[in-house]
Chains A and B, each alone.
Chain A
Amino acid sequence: MKNQYTLAVVLLGSMLLVACGGSSSDDNAESSTSYEITVVNLTNNQPLSPVAVIAHASDFSAWAVGSAASTGLEEMAEGGDNSTLIGAGIDGVDAVGESGAGPIPPGGSETFTIETGADTQNRITVASMFVNTNDAFVGLGSVDVSGLSSGDSITHTAPIYDAGTEANSEAAGTIPGPADGGEGYNPARDDVDRVFRHAGVVSADDGLSTSVLNESHRFDAPGARITITRQ
Chain B
Amino acid sequence: MTFKKLLGAAAVSMAVSGAAQAVEISVTLTNLTGGMYFTPRLLVAHTSAVDMFEVGTAASTGLATIAEGGDTSVLGAALDATPDNNRHQSFGGLLAPATVSAVYSFETDDHPYLSMAAMLLPTNDAFVGLDSWVIPTEPGTYTINLNAYDAGTEANDEIVNGGGALGVPGIPVDPGGNAGTGGTGVTATEANNTVHIHRGNIGDDNPTGGASDVSNSVHRWLNPVARLTVTIN
Interface of A toward B, CB cutoff 8 Å: 65-66, 160, 162, 164, 167-170, 191-192, 194-200, 202, 206-210, 220-221
A65/B217 in contact, CB under 8 A? no
Question: Which residue of chain A lies nearest to B35 when distances are taken between CB atoms in the complex?
Answer: A199
Write the chain B residue with the least CB distance to A170: B217
Contact (A65, B32) CB under 8 Å given A164-B98, A221-B222 = yes
Is B196 an interface position by the 8 A CB rule?
A: no
Distance of A206 Cα from B202 Cα, bound (Å):
9
Scan B199-222; emit 1 where CB is below 8 A from any A CB, else 0.
Answer: 000111100000000001100111
Q: B100 in the interface, Cβ–Cβ < 8 Å?
A: yes
Residues in B whose Cβ lies below 8 Å from that of A207: 202-205, 216
Q: Please, which residues of chain B bring their CB within 8 A of the CB of A208?
A: 205, 216-217
Q: A164-B98, A200-B222 are in contact. Are A206 and B216 (CB under 8 A)?
A: yes
Could you tell me which B residues sit within 8 Å of A by CB distance? 30-35, 97-100, 202-205, 216-217, 220-225, 227
User: Which residues of B lie under 8 Å from residue A169 when comparing CB positions?
Assistant: 217
CA distance A23 to B99 in the complex (A): 39
- Residue in A194, A200, A210 whose CB lies within 8 Å of B98: A194
A190 to B14, CA, bound (A): 50
Given A65-B227, A192-B98, A196-B98, 18 more pairs with CB closer than 8 A: A65-B100, A66-B30, A66-B99, A162-B34, A169-B217, A192-B34, A192-B97, A195-B98, A196-B33, A196-B97, A197-B221, A199-B35, A199-B222, A200-B222, A202-B205, A202-B220, A206-B216, A208-B205
Q: Is A209 touching B205 in the complex (CB atoms < 8 A)?
A: yes
Q: For residue A206, which residue of chain B has the nearest CB? A: B216
Cβ B35 vs Cβ A194 within 8 A: no
Of A167, A200, A209, which contacts B220 at CB under 8 A?
Answer: A200
CA of A208 to CA of B32, assembled, Å: 23
Docked pose: A56 CA to B31 CA in angstroms: 26
| Residues on B with beta carbons closer than 8 Å to the beta carbon of A160 | 222
Q: How far does the alpha carbon of A210 sit from the alpha carbon of B224 in the complex, in Å?
A: 28
Chain B residues with CB under 8 Å of A192's CB are 34, 97-98
Q: Nearest Cβ in chain B — how far from A198, in angstroms?
A: 7
B216: chain A residues within 8 A (beta carbon)? 202, 206-208
Q: How far is the CA of A170 from the CA of B31 in the complex (A)?
A: 23
Question: Does B98 lie within 8 Å of A65, measured CB to CB?
Answer: yes
Contacts of B203 in A (CB 8 A): 202, 207
Q: Are B205 and A196 in contact (CB under 8 A)?
A: no
**Does the CB pair A210–B34 fall under 8 Å?**
no
Which residues on A sit within 8 Å (CB–CB) of B204? Answer: 207
Known: A65-B100, A65-B227, A194-B98. A199 touches B34 (CB 8 A): yes
